[in-house]
Amino acid sequence: MDLKRKQFKTEFSGQPLILEVSSLAEQATSAVIGHYGDTSVLVTVVMSGEDKKGADYFPLVVDYEERFYAAGKILGSRFVRREGRPSEEAILSGRVIDRTLRPLFDQRLRREVQGVVTVLQIDKETDLDFITLLTASTALATSEIPWNGPVAGVTLYYDGSQLKISPKASELAGNWQKEGAFISFVSGTKDRINMIELEGIDTDEKTVVDAYAKAQEEIAKLIDWQNGIIKEIGRPKATIALHNPDPELIKVIRAFLSDKLDATVYVKGKVEREEKMAALKQAMLGYLMEKKFDEQARDAAEHIWETEVDETVHRNILKHDKRPDGRKLDEVRDLHAEIGILKRAHGSALFIRGNTQALVVTTIAPPGSEQLIETMEYSGKRRFLLHYNFPPYSVGEVGRVGMPGRREIGHGALAQKAVRNLIPAQEEFPYTIRVVSEILSSNGSSSMATVCGTSLSLMDAGVPIPKPVAGIAMGLMVEQNSSSKVQASRYKVLTDIQGPEDHYGDMDFKVAGTSDGIRAIQMDVKIDGLTNEMLKDGLAQAKKARLDILKVMNKAIDKPNKELSKYAPCVLS
């Protein structure tokens, strides 16, 4: 049987790189197998044949499927020897792909699109995120699914003096943590960065920016290679009706909202603002009923409402430096830091920034309480755990309470990344440590509030971390057209985004670190990407805010307590 195999070969970072298209998974919209070294992944993408009923968003899902056979393992309980719920590592890898691909779709699309990444084999040396993202990009770009790719991503390792692209696992081997070092996965289009994950050891901002400039060059080479593949086997993009409201309806709504939006959006308090915006939206829908618009038009009005608020927020910030709550562009909201909230807990802290509140509790346990980790790539123990909870009441909603979702896992992993390299070695502090962040109220960057609260809580518990760590979320407003393509260099960076700036802004750029440098970065965008200059400005403004937050935290506690809580276990060695 002829499988119609077609292979495209190149070399990247000293390893063979192959993308293969064949009749395997032929009923998917598109399927590509990627090989890098001895690692192989299958990525399929499928687009539904009709719009998702009732959807007021673009329904994209990326599922990342680990297979234990890929590593030659049989894992699971004695009674269930098959893969079940995705591991946290699989969820985080899937989010990396999702966050890179999503901004390049037209958000007016209402067809369901699902990407499934299946890991077929791993050699435990090569970079899985690199090959899965590249394969997913090629699968989408060669399909008929409308998308503005291709994209690519690379892993960077800076050892304090030298930058390496796509390092092997053995080059890191768990001992990469040197002063100034960092590991980062960065992805984007040929000339812009649109997704960042970074873990560092007090890395300097300039070092990060320079490294991303070099990463952009490598990404551009990978995209040029993909473009050659697309030219040879790419299918014409399907013409799909997008969610475009009736121009007459837009005209009527704009006239109704023209003199009302500013008084509604520009209110300092979140609750009052949301109440006013909800009341104005209901008044708008009532006005449409008076004008005899049908139910379908009133559904479309939701999208027009979002567009009008978005344009109002963008216009006022770009032209007048006017933020919804009246702050300056580089101003952090009111801060509060407090320790010892729970007397019987081993360590506790409350960190508040504006309407965002994080109650963070530390528990210390004997060494035997370590978590056993068994995944496709890794087997071992974890002695520092950080768990993040985001209950629905934190945003004034009724919702499901239970197992953490992808967002909660992602936010917890980011906070853990920012703090874990400050945890003393087991020889110095032999305890297992679990930190739980309870988000009591949320209005922008609860993950960075978790970083600040974790630092305070650990010091309250007497964990001898060498220095405190804080985090801040930066935003961006850019001049753009309806397809999210940046059309001018005009932009404004915002410090400590919240409310409408978070929802309608173009970037969520979280930066955590100490007074000496960066410890973690996570960046997502809603536009096609950021230039190196935008990254430079964002990091500079984030550093200023981080240092201001650390001053407030240091007033609550500036060094770890010398003694553990009387309720904590005592380990003698």
Residue 488 pLDDT > 50, yes or no?
Answer: no
Angle of helix 446-461 versus helix 406-419 axis, rounded to 10: 50
3 state SS of 493: strand
| pLDDT of res. 329 | 95
Question: What's the rounded Cα separation, in Å, for the pair 1 and 260?
Answer: 67
| pLDDT of res. 169 | 83
| pLDDT of res. 314 | 93
| pLDDT of res. 173 | 67
Beta pairing partners, 380: 373
Average pLDDT for the chain:
91
3 state SS of 471: strand
Res. 270 pLDDT band, cuts 50 70 90 = confident
> How many other CB atoms are found less than 10 A from the CB of residue 276?
17
Structure tokens at 281: 């939206």
Q: Which of 573, 557, 353, 326 is nearest to 458 (CA)?
A: 557
239-267 pLDDT, tens digit per residue, is: 998 877 788 888 889 888 888 888 888 88
Higher pLDDT, 500 or 228: 228
Residue 12 pLDDT > 90, yes or no?
Answer: yes
Quickly tell me which residue has 């049908």 as its tokens.
Answer: 294
352-407 pLDDT, tens digit per residue, is: 999 999 999 999 999 888 888 877 777 788 999 999 999 999 988 898 888 888 89
Structure tokens at 501: 């700036």
425-458 pLDDT, tens digit per residue, is: 999 999 999 999 999 999 988 999 999 999 999 9
Higher pLDDT, 316 or 403: 316
Amino acid at 510: K
**Total length of the chain:** 573
- Compute the half-sphere exposure of residue 73: CA atoms within 13 Å on the CB side of its CA: 20
Distance from chain centroid for Cα 121 = 26
Res. 532 pLDDT band, cuts 50 70 90 = very high
Lowest average pLDDT, out of 101-105, 158-162, 347-351, goes to: 158-162
3 state SS of 51: strand
Q: Is-cis flag, bond preceding 150, omega within 30?
A: yes
- Compute the half-sphere exposure of residue 379: CA atoms within 13 Å on the CB side of its CA: 8
> How many other CB atoms are found less than 10 A from the CB of residue 281?
17
124-177 pLDDT, tens digit per residue, is: 888 899 999 999 999 999 999 999 989 999 999 999 889 999 998 888 866 678
Question: What's the rounded Cα separation, in Å, for the pair 98 and 133?
Answer: 9
Name residues whose C-beta falls within 8 Å of residue 263's C-beta, 6 or more positions apart in sequence: 276
Q: Which of 507, 508, 423 is nearest to 462 (CA)?
A: 423
What percentage of residues in the chain have a pLDDT greater than 70? 98
Residue 515 pLDDT > 80, yes or no?
Answer: yes
If you write DSSP's letter for every residue of 248-275 in order, what string do you get? Answer: HHHHHHHHHHTTTHHHHH--SSHHHHHH
Amino acid at 162: Q
Query: Taking residues 197-206, what's their average pLDDT?
Result: 96
| pLDDT of res. 3 | 81
- End-to-end Cα, the chain, rounded Å: 67
| pLDDT of res. 1 | 72
